[in-house]
Structure 1
């Protein structure tokens, strides 16, 4: 049985970064995409939703249909690529530079402590759920997915599942959407 898989969303347009392929931007010598894949070490399979790119570790590739139809459609495509017996799936955006395997360990611990919960998601320092940094029971996600996911918000589906909210440690909930975010991600802390 596949116990833990990952779906990494890597298909955004990065408009606020001038349209660059942001998941290929380096932070501390690794691309944002490879840093995200590093955070799900031990997951199998790791499904990346977006155009094919070079990665340091092997992954499965898929695309939402049609390409560019939004993150929820990306999650739907990623779920379709998972083996039927997959029990848990990390759903992550590919632009979180400070995720670590420890992040996933904490999310997994929150799910173990709440066996009836559909999932566990990080909450940023402002108390906002980070819907694209979560660990979910695959059966719950599959049951909640709408027939048409195109251009629907992640929040509209994931919030109804009432996941366990896990406070982020340090900068792990931060993402890279703007040049300022990229600068902060590349600036050593301390």
Structure 2
């Protein structure tokens, strides 16, 4: 059986989510990053590299970042592969984005496809619209090395990969395509997040309340309070409200988010995501995982 390592890409800007940390978004009671890590571990990956900001919590994984940051998926993947230095070069590399709620199912499809095409440079999923999902794939490490060499000619400078499109890398490798059955749905917008939570039984809002409405509301309300709408972490607040309502009681949702606002306004050094996660964990601990009333 071919040995496996993994590279999980978790360093995008998430512009359509207002800059929220996609890897830290919770779907089905688990962070998206944790879902990706669990998928890699279940597949038997010996080493897991997470490419993203250094503050990301990724237990048991090496966290690295491409230089300069936000160099795009090819630069990020190259940084992740470089971090596998010393690992078996014959091992395949499982590549995952960190915003896949169904990462485990996706990896299972990939491994089955790889078993059927051992001579190829790798396999990647193709979604229902016919688009190749190059960041949900298994690559032969040697094939990636060749592709990086081609893309960084003539001097091999990794900086040349900054901003390079994945299609250019994919053109340098021979991939077998595996038909996806919906496992490559990712989280790019608040609507995507709401749908993913709903289908996993963890929706954070009534179905009649669309995330776009919340965006509009924040855009109107924030200036009234002298705030920049872009600074309001809607997804973080919704998830904290859900955890408080579920772990304590429904009225705890607005009270808990207000407490978070007071803490941030008082100049606490902790970042909003960290404080929200600690409050959410406290609420879940109090409720034992199911003692309150869900939103």
What is the Cα deviation at residue 65 of structure 1?
Answer: 1.1
Determine whether 1:106 maps to 2:109.
Answer: yes
Alignment match, 2:31 = 31
Looking at secondary structure, tell me which structure has more strand per residue.
1
Alignment match, 2:199 = 188
Determine whether 1:117 maps to 2:120.
Answer: yes
Alignment match, 1:66 = 68
Looking at secondary structure, tell me which structure has more helix per residue.
2
* Matches of 2:3 and 2:45, distance apart in 1: 8
- Larger RCO, structure (CA 8 Å, separation 6 or more): 1
What is the Cα deviation at residue 125 of structure 1?
Answer: 0.8
What is the Cα deviation at residue 84 of structure 1?
Answer: 4.3
Compute the TM-score of the two structures, normalised by the length of structure 1: 0.92
Compute the TM-score of the two structures, normalised by the length of structure 2: 0.60
What are the within-5 Å matches in structure 2 for residues 20-169 of structure 1?
Answer: 20-41=20-41, 42-52=44-54, 53-55=56-58, 57-82=59-84, 83-86=86-89, 87-100=91-104, 102-145=105-148, 146-147=151-152, 148-169=160-181
The alignment of Structure 1 onto Structure 2 pairs a total of residues equal to: 186
Unaligned runs of 5+ in 2: 153-159, 202-295
| Consecutive aligned runs of 4 or more in structure 1 exceeding 4 Å deviation | none
Instruction: Provide Cα deviations, 1:145-181, integer angstroms capped at 9, x if missing partner.
Output: 1212111001111133131111112x31101001111
Structure 2 residue matching 1:187: 3-state secondary structure: helix
The alignment yields a C-alpha RMSD, in angstroms, of 1.7
Alignment match, 2:248 = none
* Matches of 1:162 and 1:125, distance apart in 2: 21
**Structure possessing the higher radius of gyration over alpha carbons:** 2
Distance 1:84 1:46, change over 3 A: closer
Structure 2 residue matching 1:156: 3-state secondary structure: helix
